[in-house]
Structure 1
């Protein structure tokens, strides 16, 4: 697949030091579809916020995304002559009962999570935080957005459940499944942004870049 060559995006890549604050291969795969010059510096954030302190899953996921971006921004600022653009993102799944589900602790945990989602609809929230700042101690702009997408499972029989967990795929997936991979065989329906379920809402991200450009930030 050839990347999109968008003049605005190319200009940002030339004039800013762009950093993705995530080691996620799925986010890199999606970001690579734009002809954007960027590098990867994963955040050191432990992702250990107390979920009970947040009014909603949307608030929780955008806080994670912002802290990831802030962590990397603080580490790289002053190390380049160019202004900096840091991209932070986070994804969580909310169960039908309202529980925030992140990556499973073990294969057994993944199996239990998938059983709880079988035949039901869960909601995937992905937050994106962009931090733009000059190389010195000048102005900092923070832009945030959240996408929510409903995902409905077919009934997940034991054979499929065991086979899916055995692939190891659930291990690094919020909610213990990856729609873009083998989970396609038991996901019945999706309502919302498919790429947000993958971990990065591409259309919303591009709109954020455009809005920042129109405001003279990028």
Structure 2
């Protein structure tokens, strides 16, 4: 398995120079990050995620603020734990927005999940992921970390869903910890006719955008 990992100078430098922390307990984000071969540890955020989405101009702004607050909380807690190598904290948050513009986060119950999915039958929903990097700036003596953020959005077209399919899916329990009540990479693959954008963003972590953020930091001398 190790021979299948990337061995780029950028990834090697990141793992060598920084204590890399993923501020999420999501197994999907962990799996995708593993593919880059980065040496990192997982410290899930304790941020309450109690922001009022109606106070933001867009779903993108809302999800990015959630990601930023998660990242800041882990950065502060890890720094308070004592001296270590420079920190590189990766945070992310994902929401789904239906065709009517309503933000769909994790369902509150099986009935809520079923109603959400049935309402999306034959319609388009949009997955927004906010990514936040909080990096100790090794190129500066200011002592202030560098904040880098991005939003990735992907449109997902659902086919016509019959009630039996939705009810069977909800009965598996899979939707219960998923934004929008579905996991495209798993059983909800039967729902999706097409996507427009980054598939991995729908899974929960936009890999290509993340690597572009790493490259930009490297070109700026921050890595």
TM surpasses 0.5: yes
- Unpaired segments ≥5 residues, structure 2: none
| Aligned match of 1:86 | 89
* CA distances 1:162-214 after superposition (whole Å, capped 9, x unpaired): 11101111011100000000111121110000000011000000110010011
- Unpaired segments ≥5 residues, structure 1: none
| Aligned match of 1:19 | 21
Q: Is the 8 A contact 2:159 2:193 kept in 1?
A: yes
| Aligned match of 1:43 | 45
Task: Give, in angstroms, the shift of residue 126 of structure 1.
Answer: 0.5
Question: Which of residues 137, 140, 143 is equivalent to 2:145?
Answer: 140
- Taking the TM superposition and a 5 Å limit, the aligned residue runs for 1:93-108 are 93-108=96-111
| Aligned match of 1:205 | 210
- Taking the aligned partners of 1:170 and 1:152, their CA distance within structure 2 comes to 18
- Taking the aligned partners of 1:188 and 1:150, their CA distance within structure 2 comes to 11
Q: Is the 8 A contact 1:82 1:134 kept in 2?
A: no
Do residues 182 (structure 1) and 184 (structure 2) align?
A: no
- Taking the aligned partners of 1:166 and 1:207, their CA distance within structure 2 comes to 39
Task: Give, in angstroms, the shift of residue 81 of structure 1.
Answer: 2.9
Task: Give, in angstroms, the shift of residue 14 of structure 1.
Answer: 1.1
Find the residue that maps to 1:93 and give its secondary structure: strand
Find the residue that maps to 2:161 and give its secondary structure: coil
The runs of 4+ residues in structure 1 deviating greater than 4 Å are 134-137
| Aligned match of 2:118 | 115
- Taking the aligned partners of 1:145 and 1:113, their CA distance within structure 2 comes to 27
TM-score, normalization: structure 1?
0.97
- Taking the aligned partners of 1:213 and 1:175, their CA distance within structure 2 comes to 35
Find the residue that maps to 1:77 and give its secondary structure: helix
Find the residue that maps to 1:13 and give its secondary structure: helix
Q: Root-mean-square deviation (CA), in Å?
A: 1.4
